């Protein structure tokens, strides 16, 4: 099994380094064809969100589509895939940041009955 780090995803998305992009595309193709098992982590997913948004300036619908596309690579194992997919869906639906949508979905997923936060935006999302 091969762990795919943030910079590989960034190269695949931005294609801003030809040599690295070719390496990434080969690995992803091999993974898609079942030659290797590929996996990544929730932390990497959040790093993708941050780098694509802050460094590359992607916003709104474009950023959400990128996140959907990353999760759409079904041959990559994400331990929390369902939670991440639901978070991106809530992010799109209510126009919240990924971290807020994720925290609310995570809390609901583990059976939390109350949210302790001074963040009014997060409190609104919790009540939805």
CA-based end-to-end distance of the chain? 39
Across the range 43-67, mean pLDDT stands at 95
What does the pLDDT look like over 19-28, one tens digit per residue? Answer: 999 999 999 9
Q: What is the tens place of the pLDDT at every residue in 78-122? A: 999 999 999 999 998 888 899 999 999 999 999 999 889 998 888
How high does pLDDT run on average in the chain?
Answer: 94
pLDDT in the model for residue 89: 94
pLDDT value at residue 123: 84
Dihedral, CA of residue 9, residue 12, residue 13 and residue 15, to nearest 10: 130
How many C-beta neighbours within 10 Å does residue 19 have? Answer: 8
CA distance 59 to 61: 7
At 127, is the pLDDT very low, low, confident or very high (cuts 50, 70, 90)? confident
Torsion of CA 109, 111, 113, 116, to 10 degrees: -60
């Amino acid at each position: 099994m091969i762990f795919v780090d943030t910079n590989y995803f960034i190269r695949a998305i931005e294609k801003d380094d030809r040599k690295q992009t070719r390496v990434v595309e080969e690995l992803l193709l091999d993974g898609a064809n079942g030659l290797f098992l590929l996996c990544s982590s929730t932390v990497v997913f959040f790093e993708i969100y941050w780098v694509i948004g802050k460094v590359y300036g992607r916003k709104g619908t474009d950023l959400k589509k990128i996140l959907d596309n990353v999760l759409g690579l079904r041959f990559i194992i994400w331990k929390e895939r369902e939670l991440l997919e639901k978070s991106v869906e809530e992010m799109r639906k209510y126009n919240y940041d990924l971290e807020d949508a994720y925290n609310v979905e995570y809390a609901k997923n583990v059976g939390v009955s109350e949210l302790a936060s001074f963040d009014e935006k997060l409190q609104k999302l919790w009540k939805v």
